[in-house]
Every structure is written in structure tokens, then in C-alpha cells.
């Protein structure tokens, strides 16, 4: 926790959280959020691969058995939790792991990398979409789907579709978790490298950038160039945890600077522990000049409320302030009693990139609780009890401001695995509009 937060304690409520025998006190004021609209895309929504893609991609989910062995027989892998079977025909639209508001109820959304790991996602194509939401009827319409490809051999390591003419990318090549549209294409944040990836407007790779700043190279266990040492050898260079690369990535309002944010604390090779400052776990926010394509010196630190939390998304709302989703790994509404590990901590924090202490730890200005959203008009089709709506998904990975009073929030449904809304049913892709005028004005 930053010293500045302590100074401002007289204006803040005090809340304590205890997870994994680690407890931190937060001095952060809570604000109300009111549900104003709800829409959903059914979990079982699929898209066809491009016509010029290899026939191999007409089926997906071959490697999603418990041991990741190939199963080519359609629906040959049965899921006892959801009753769904795979492999699937086509490509699941999947859950969304990044969002930007395009105006007029249209949004840019990023499909998650595949089925959750590098080992099981070699037939899951990387793609993103433009969608239009009809909030009145709660419908999500997919207007455009763009698939990532590397026909110009810009990816510096072998990919699954290495010998294909168009070299389409898969969830075994990259784990893209954040997206930012720019004037000539898109930037993506990846977890495997972690890499920054630049494409043109048609999704063709233009550049893949390794993460090296302040003379530190950030390397994940899933980095294609990492060779893990034998059990009797030392010298591992890994500091970024698996599934701990770039989960969120904001862009400055002038469009010049990207701010990739790690999902989990790095591993400190000096102390052989995960990174903490003043006994509090922190996540690194880096800075990258997209015009010069160079990393900028200096690191900001986002303070986690608990050591086993992770972030879900990160977007700027003005020149200096931003929204960050912080969440635990639970799923299911605790009020309903069916989940063995129900959701408890699902929050959106407001930060200001200028407000940090001497050690560059940011101050959390305010938060809203996604587990207790006001729904006085009964807008939600499910999930409301006594006028209180919850968003109890294990991974909530989409937040952006829509207007001066409103934000959009959506979940990554980890299709077909996550079960947070209803026992025994794979989660749908839910989008909600929240009125949070006071929260967005907090200082």
C-alpha cells in the first residue's frame, strides 16, 4: 500500500482481506454501481475459419483431454461438469479478454487464446471481432471477425501453421490477452513471451517485440526461446510466471504510449520470492513508445489486495486515470450455495498514473464491487437477488468507459470450462453497462 493512501485514510473506508494466510488492509473508498443494460452471447457460438485456412482448423479442441493427447473423433471428449463434448466443428467464438468501446453500441473484443494453455490450444485460431450490442433485447451481433496471420514470417520462432501459405496463428503460438486499436492497425499484449505484437488492420503480423526494459529481459516459461534447465542444473532466466504475462494493456490518450500490465507478480531471482514492496505484492506496469517501438525506462507498480489475486483488464479513461479489474480465482455466486469456491473479490479500481509513492507504487483511488451491483429495475435476466446483481465469473477481463457516467464490463467465459453463472452450465459471454458517475469522478 502506498504512503499516499495512508495519508488519505481519513477519507477512506478500511477493509481487510485474508487469502492464503496473507492479509492486507486497503484504505480505498467504495462507490455504487447500477446496472443499466445487459446482453449476452451464448457460450455455444462458433465461427468458420477463413476459406484459405488449412482444413485442420475446421475442427478445434482436439487436445483438450486431461493429458492433452490428440482426440480427432468429433465430440470424443466428454466434460462431466458441463455435459459438453469436444472436439468442436469450427472455432468457438470463446470468451473475451480485451475490449474497447467504438461508440454507438459497437465494441472491439478480443477472443482469448484458445482453451487455456499452450499445450491444448494448437488448433484454436487467434482472432478478434467488432460486435454491436442491442441492449434493448440483450443481443450481441458479431459484425466482423479478423484472424491473425504471419505470411511475411515476422514471428521469430516456429509456429503451428509454419508451412501454411498464410501462416494463421493459434493459441499455441501466442496468448493474446489485450488489444489496442491504432491508426494503422492493432497492438496486442501477449502472455507467453511476454511479447508485444503489432498487426495491420487485416490482422497480419508486422512486428513481434520482446520485453526488455531497464536492462531486464522478461521471460515466461512459455517463451518459445526459453530452454528449461535439467533438474541438476541452475541458471533459469524465468522471472515472469506462467499465465502471468500481459493481461491488460492501456494506451495513452495521445496514442503514443502503450502501458502493458503483468497479470501476476514477477519472480525475484535475488530473493527467490515473488515481488513485494513494503510487504505488499505488486504488479509491474511498463511503458512502450509505439512510434519509436522502444521500451521506456521506469516501472510503475500496481498494489494487489491479496497475493493470489490477478488483474483482468486495464484501460485509460482520460489523460492520466485508468480502470483496472482485480479479481480472485473463485466462481459462482456465494448467495446461491452451490459453488465449492465461490467468487468473493471481483472489483474495478480507479488509479492515476501520476499518483505514486517514492517507490513508484500507485495509489488506488476508489473501487466498485462487481459482486454487489444495484439492479433496482430488474434488468438482469439472471444473477439478481433482492435487487442486487453479481458478476461471479472466475475471469472478468473486459472494462472500458462508454461515456462520462458509464462503463462496459464483460467476462472471459473460458469456454467450455468456466461455470460461474449457473451450476452445470458453461458460462455465456455477458456484457453489462454500469452507471458509475461518482466513481469515475473520484479523486
User: What would the pLDDT profile of 343-396 be if each residue is shown by its tens digit?
Assistant: 999 999 999 999 999 999 999 999 999 999 999 999 999 999 999 999 999 999
* pLDDT, mean of residues 89-108: 96
Report whether pLDDT(17) > 60. no
> Three-state SS for 3?
helix
Beta bridge partners of 144: 130
pLDDT at 286: 96
Angle at 304 between CA 13 and CA 367, to 5 degrees: 40
- pLDDT beyond 60 at 10: no
Give the pLDDT mean for 19-34: 71
- Under a CB-based contact definition with an 8 Å cutoff, are residues 442 and 12 in contact? no
Instruction: Name 287's bridge partners.
Output: none
Give the start-end residues of each E strand in 305-397.
Answer: 310-316, 321-327, 346-356, 362-369, 373-374, 384-385, 388-389
The topology under which CATH files domain 3-440 is Tachylectin-2; Chain A (2.115.10)
pLDDT in tens, 115-163: 999 999 999 999 999 999 999 999 999 999 999 999 999 999 999 999 9
The pLDDT of residue 8 is above 50 = no
Q: How far is CA 91 from CA 61, 123, 137, in A?
A: 9, 9, 26
State if pTM tops 0.75. yes
Amino acid at each position: 500500500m502506498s504512503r499516499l493512501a495512508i495519508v488519505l485514510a481519513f477519507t477512506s473506508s478500511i477493509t481487510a482481506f485474508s487469502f492464503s494466510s496473507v492479509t492486507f488492509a486497503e484504505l480505498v473508498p467504495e462507490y455504487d454501481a447500477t446496472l443499466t443494460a445487459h446482453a449476452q452471447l451464448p457460450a455455444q457460438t462458433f465461427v468458420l475459419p477463413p476459406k484459405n485456412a488449412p482444413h485442420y482448423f475446421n475442427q478445434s479442441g482436439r487436445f483438450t483431454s486431461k493429458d492433452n493427447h490428440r482426440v480427432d473423433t468429433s465430440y470424443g471428449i466428454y466434460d462431466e461438469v458441463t455435459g459438453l463434448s469436444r472436439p468442436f466443428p469450427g472455432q468457438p467464438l470463446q470468451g473475451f479478454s480485451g475490449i474497447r468501446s467504438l461508440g454507438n453500441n459497437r465494441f472491439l473484443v478480443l477472443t482469448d487464446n484458445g482453451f487455456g494453455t499452450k499445450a491444448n490450444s494448437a488448433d484454436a485460431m487467434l482472432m478478434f471481432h467488432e460486435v454491436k450490442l442491442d441492449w434493448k433485447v440483450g443481443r450481441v451481433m458479431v459484425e466482423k471477425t479478423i484472424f491473425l496471420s504471419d505470411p511475411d514470417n515476422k514471428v521469430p520462432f516456429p509456429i503451428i501453421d509454419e508451412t501454411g501459405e498464410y501462416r494463421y496463428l493459434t493459441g499455441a503460438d501466442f496468448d493474446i490477452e489485450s488489444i489496442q486499436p491504432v491508426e494503422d492497425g492493432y497492438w496486442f499484449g501477449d502472455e507467453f513471451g511476454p511479447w508485444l505484437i503489432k498487426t495491420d488492420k487485416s490482422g497480419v503480423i508486422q512486428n513481434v517485440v520482446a520485453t526488455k526494459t531497464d536492462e531486464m529481459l522478461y521471460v515466461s516459461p512459455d517463451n518459445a526461446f526459453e530452454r528449461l534447465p535439467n533438474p541438476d542444473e541452475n541458471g533459469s532466466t524465468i522471472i515472469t510466471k506462467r499465465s502471468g504475462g500481459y493481461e491488460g494493456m492501456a494506451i495513452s490518450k495521445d496514442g503514443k504510449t502503450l502501458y502493458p500490465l503483468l497479470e501476476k507478480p514477477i519472480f525475484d531471482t535475488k530473493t527467490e520470492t515473488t515481488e513485494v514492496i513494503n510487504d505488499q505484492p505488486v504488479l509491474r506496469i511498463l511503458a512502450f513508445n509505439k512510434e519509436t517501438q522502444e521500451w521506456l525506462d521506469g516501472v510503475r507498480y500496481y498494489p494487489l489486495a491479496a497475493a493470489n489475486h490477478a488483474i483482468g483488464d486495464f484501460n485509460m479513461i482520460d489523460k492520466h486515470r485508468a480502470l483496472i479489474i482485480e479479481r480472485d480465482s473463485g466462481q459462482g455466486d456465494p448467495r446461491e450455495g452451490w459453488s465449492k469456491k465461490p467468487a468473493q473479490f471481483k472489483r474495478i479500481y480507479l488509479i492515476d498514473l501520476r499518483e505514486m509513492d517514492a517507490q513508484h507504487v500507485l495509489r488506488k483511488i476508489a473501487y466498485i464491487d462487481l459482486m454487489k451491483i444495484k439492479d433496482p429495475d430488474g434488468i438482469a435476466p439472471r444473477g439478481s437477488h433482492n435487487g442486487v446483481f453479481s458478476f461471479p465469473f472466475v475471469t472478468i477481463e473486459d472494462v472500458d468507459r462508454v461515456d462520462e457516467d458509464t462503463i462496459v464490463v464483460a467476462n472471459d467465459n473460458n469456454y467450455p470450462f468456466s461455470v460461474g453463472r449457473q451450476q452445470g452450465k458453461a458460462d455465456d459471454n455477458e456484457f453489462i453497462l454500469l452507471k458509475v458517475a461518482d466513481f469515475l469522478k473520484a479523486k
